[in-house]
Structure 1
Amino acid sequence: MQYYNSNTVLYLNGDFVKSETAQIDLYGQSLHYGFAAFEGIRAYNTHNGTRIFKAKKHYNRLKQSCDLVSIPFPWDIDDLIKQTYKLLEMNNMKDAYIRPLVYSDSNMSLIAPEKANIMICAWDWAAYFGDKQLKCCISSYQRPNPKSTHMEAKISGHYVNSILATTEAKKRGFDEAILLDMNENIAEAPGANIFVEKGGKLFTPPLGHILPGITRATVIQLCKKLDLECVEKELTVADLKAADSAFFCGTAAEIVGLKSVDDTVFPLKWTESIGATIQRTYKCLVLEKQNYEVII
């Protein structure tokens, strides 16, 4: 996939520069150790114009991620949002995936840097998994022990774990992986949270071993609007395989249904599932269509 061309502009430390000419320090911890923080944000072309969905929540989480691991974050969030809209306008983008990245200055030690840099880029990106239901497998890789790192921080180095899990799944003939936590409970997908439907209710793993996804929080809010019961609780592999239906959610993935886990096919038709209702309602929300679907 081509993420930029000769005309693409990105934001770098207060300036707008051509993507082709932007440079990064090769002696920084971010490149050598994965010590950087990032966000994935989406902009949508709505009837009210281009809207960045939950921009402030994403940039607040970016700052929180930096604070948790002692990466300096001296930037004003409102200004970053303003510059992001300007970036979209300069690249003539209305629907876009936006990637802010905070990375370290020159520093080859194992001590947090005294200075950091910020880059914001954007590209055209459809829903990460497309619109098909996914065949998934339980990964042999686990999510890191939360006592070994800050799982609530969106840190670049954490995604080595994600790359290993997805690569393994695809080599085995599946679309995506599902990772367990250190206690062998369901955690999340490599780049998305998971919800499980059983008996007309939704269930999702609790915080602690997972990234607190902004889309995950949005799904929980939508359940309240739609008067759907959503329970945060630990889920075993047996719970997942006994479910009626399941779906992933995330900024890149949006809402995507699962067809199966390992050899177990979910019995409920996707179009009749709560996940499909959430999928339609989420699309209405991001496109600023106010008439939420009502379940009777």
Structure 2
Amino acid sequence: MYYDDETLIYLDGNWVKAAEAKADLFCQTLHYGLGAFEGIRSYATPEGPHIFKAHEHFERLILSSKKIHVNLALSSHEFTEICYELLSRNNLTNAYIRPLVYMGANMALTPSNTHHIMIAAWEWGKYLGSQPLDVEISSYQRPNPKAFPMEAKIVGHYSNSILASTEAKAKGYDEALLLDGQGFVAEGPGANFFYEKNEVLYTPPLGNILPGITRATIMEYAREMGYRVVEKLFTPEDLTDIDSAFFTGTATEVTGIRSIDGKAVKLDWEDSIGYSLFLMYRQRVINKEIQDFTLV
């Protein structure tokens, strides 16, 4: 699914066949989850592949790495150039790009003195599919922000996300929705959360959530279209009488939610603000964020 015998990856300054690449079995990331990563999308455009928000993603990778005491030598511009070469070498246009910073061998509970950079790309459709989702409020919580830097995309954070998503799917739901330690709605296992009520969009504030790049983009687009966006804390009880809801994220893009804990939202996805934002998002990424959006 992710690579074949001819797929090339970037590894520590070299172009290596994915099938032949090796990592140390004693690396700290494998044993303790200390590492940083990003998820980035490239879209086919009339002028060739366009990596959406590349600078923002790589600035966050650099920040995430600093949070785990790794100073990356590459700039966001250099990372971006590598990614365009990666796409070219693998003949990809519509692609998902995965940069990973992983640690060297070290069994001590202090950061390794060495680190590695791997960047791969593959064809990957919308992570949660294209149909509105049935979502469960998870028994798993978003990690405590005092325990983990929430503004960073850290490898170990996502063990919790896997458990939450697995639990939801075992119960017949499509995805989970996690609360924070105080019982407020936080986010999905790998996506930010919005809901609509009375033509206003609501989303959790920064603090207990990942400050998603797609989240910020959708907030910008919503305000451009004249909608009010409110960042505030809210509980699952606040979701019992909403008009619509959706997830946002690089892998997820903009994906509608049909029901939460078995209770359907009021609007069909195609009649919601979220769907209009989805259309706008798709047109912008394909046309390199041109400003002449026309709702269709």
Identify the residue that residue 131 of structure 1 maps to in structure 2.
130
The residue aligned with 1:14 is: 13
On the 8 A contact 1:143/1:179 being kept in 2, the answer is: yes
Deviation at 1:291, TM superposition (A): 2.5
1:230 aligned residue: 229
> Which stretch of structure 1 is more off in the superposition, 283-292 or 61-70?
283-292
Q: Please name the residue that 1:148 is paired with.
A: 147
CA–CA separation in structure 1 for the residues paired with 2:259 and 2:90:
39
Q: Quick check: 1:226–1:294 contact (8 Å CA) kept in 2? A: no
Residues 233-264 of structure 1, C-alpha deviations (whole Å, 9 max, x = no match):
01110112221100000000000000000121
Residue 47 (structure 2) aligns with:
48
State the AA in 1 paired with 2:52: F
Deviation at 1:114, TM superposition (A): 2.0
Structure 1 counterpart of 2:167: 168
Instruction: Specify the alignment match of 2:292 in structure 1.
Output: 291
**What corresponds to 2:188 in structure 1?**
189
Structure 1 alignment gaps of length 5 or more: none
Structure-2 separation of matches of 1:242 and 1:208: 25
Q: CA RMSD in A?
A: 1.1
| Cα distance in 1 for residues equivalent to 2:249 and 2:159 | 18
2:67 aligns to what? 68
Contact 1:101 1:120 in 2 (8 A): yes
Partner SS, residue 20 of structure 1: helix
**What displacement does 1:294 show?**
5.6
Deviation at residue 107 of structure 1 after TM alignment: 1.2
TM-score (normalised: structure 1): 0.97
Per-residue deviation, 1:130: 1.3
Q: Deviations over 1:8-53 (max 9, x none)?
A: 0000011101001000011111000011100000000012211000
Q: Are residue 37 (structure 1) and residue 63 (structure 2) matched?
A: no
CA distance in 2, matches of 1:166, 1:290: 36
Q: How far 1:267 sits from its partner (Å)? A: 1.1
Unaligned ranges ≥5, structure 2:
none
Residue 27 of structure 2 is aligned to residue 28 of structure 1:
yes
SS of residue paired to 1:165: helix
Which deviates the most, 257-266 or 66-75? Answer: 66-75
Distance 1:73 1:241 in 2: 45
Q: Distance in 2 between matches of 1:115 and 1:172?
A: 42
Q: What code does the residue aligned with 2:249 have?
A: G
Show CA shifts across 1:49-103 (max 9, x none).
1100010100100010011121232223211111110010000001000000000
**What's the TM-score once normalised by structure 2's chain length?**
0.97
Distance 1:210 1:80 in 2: 25
Deviation, structure 1 residue 290? 3.9
Once the 2 structures are TM-superposed, how far is the Cα of residue 284 of structure 1 from its aligned partner?
0.9
Secondary structure at 1:293 match in 2: coil
Q: Number of residues paired by the alignment?
A: 294
Partners in 1 of 2:230 and 2:143 — Cα distance? 24
Aligned-partner Cα distance in 2 for 1:86–1:69: 28
Q: Secondary structure at the match of 2:138?
A: strand
Q: How does 1:67-86 map to 2 (within 5 A)?
A: 67-86=66-85
Q: Is the 8 A contact 1:72 1:114 kept in 2?
A: no
Which residue identity lines up with residue 273 of structure 2 in the other structure? Answer: I
Between the aligned partners of 1:163 and 1:273, the Cα distance in structure 2 is 29
Q: Name the stretch that deviates more: 282-291 or 240-249.
A: 282-291
SS across alignment from 1:173: coil
8 Å contact kept, 2:280–2:295: no
Identical aligned pairs, as a percentage?
A: 48
Q: Aligned residue for 1:280?
A: 279
